[in-house]
Copies of this chain bind each other. A is one copy, B any other.
Amino acid sequence: MNDVIQLIKNHRSIRKFKEKPLNEEQINAIVEAAQSASTSSYYQAYSIINITDPKLKHELRQVSGQSYVENNPNLFVFCADMNRMMTSQSEEIQEKMKQNIENTEFFMMATIDTALAAQNAVIAAESMGLGICFIGSLRNNIKRVNDLLKLPKYVIPLFGIVVGYPNENPELKPRFNTDAILFENEYHLKKEAIEVYNKTTESYYEKRSTNNRKDNWSHQIGRKLTKPIRMDVASFVQSKGLNKH
């Protein structure tokens, strides 16, 4: 296993940071790494908002509910962005582009583009000894985040990433065995693969150093997903002109 794969496999979410912020060179390296990811048809359909205003961080923490959305040296919000594509065209062409920009295919495409860029940013950050945590909980009130960041039509916030020097060293969280994720030529999920994983996660939750409990993957899924989650995201996305048909 080479050093890069070692780095990737050593990923843990970091939620406690030292106070030291990133310097400009580090921020540039992270953003340029993000931009080096593959992008569908050269669209580069994303933007990154670097949150430096403490008041804004506080507001975003209110949305997320997570203290580390406020208490971090650096917070970046990753947005799917098709406004740049539209802005580059005359009004006449924009009108003809809407059929694509507003459909589900382009919503998928921009979401994928943004996530590929974000994961490159993560690996770049971790390669510099930094730790990160994705903040999907910004979608707890996606409209509020949108308004705070003054996002125009065709731009939506997908998630944040907090970055900084780690001030904790959490355990690795076990993933599914490969046979539950990787198939050959056709999809073939064995129920036993889930059972095996439930035993693995049971043991993980029992033994980990903090917040240990009796739990497993399936219980967690069932517990969470029987309650409605972020039911306003769909109408918000449509209100921004995306995923409309």
CA distance A104 to B127 in the complex (A): 33
Q: Cβ of A115: which chain B residues have Cβ within 8 Å of it?
A: 111-112, 114-116, 119
Q: Which of B187, B230, B245 is close to A150, meaning CB atoms less than 8 Å apart?
A: B187
Fill in one digit per residue for A205-242: 1 if any B CB lies within 8 Å of its CB, else 0: 00000000000011011101110111101100100000
Query: Does A63 interact with chain B (Cβ within 8 Å)?
Result: no
Task: Please determine whether A233 and B85 come into contact, CB atoms closer than 8 angstroms.
Answer: no
List the B residue with the shortest CB-CB distance to A104.
B234
Query: Does A61 interact with chain B (Cβ within 8 Å)?
Result: no
List the B residue with the shortest CB-CB distance to A55.
B185
Query: Does A167 interact with chain B (Cβ within 8 Å)?
Result: no
Q: Cβ of A108: which chain B residues have Cβ within 8 Å of it?
A: 111, 139, 158, 233, 237
Task: Please determine whether B11 and A36 come into contact, CB atoms closer than 8 angstroms.
Answer: yes
Q: Which of B13, B100, B176, B184 is close to A44, meaning CB atoms less than 8 Å apart?
A: B176
In the assembled complex, how far is the CB of residue A240 from the closest CB belonging to chain B, in whole angstroms? 12
Query: Does A28 interact with chain B (Cβ within 8 Å)?
Result: yes
Query: Does A37 interact with chain B (Cβ within 8 Å)?
Result: yes
Query: Does A47 interact with chain B (Cβ within 8 Å)?
Result: yes
**How many residues on the A side are at the interface (Cβ–Cβ under 8 A)?**
115
CA distance A149 to B28 in the complex (A): 41
Complex interface residues of chain A between 95 and 109 (CB less than 8 A to chain B)? 96-97, 99-101, 103-106, 108-109
Given contacts A48-B181, A103-B231, 20 further A-B contacts (CB under 8 A): A4-B7, A10-B36, A11-B37, A38-B132, A42-B173, A42-B220, A49-B184, A49-B187, A85-B225, A88-B194, A96-B226, A97-B222, A100-B229, A104-B234, A109-B136, A112-B159, A114-B115, A119-B119, A149-B185, A150-B187
Sampled A-B contacts (26; CB under 8 Å): A5-B127, A11-B37, A28-B178, A40-B134, A42-B220, A47-B181, A47-B182, A47-B187, A50-B183, A84-B180, A84-B189, A85-B221, A87-B191, A88-B198, A88-B217, A93-B222, A93-B225, A100-B225, A104-B234, A115-B115, A115-B116, A119-B119, A120-B123, A149-B185, A150-B188, A155-B187
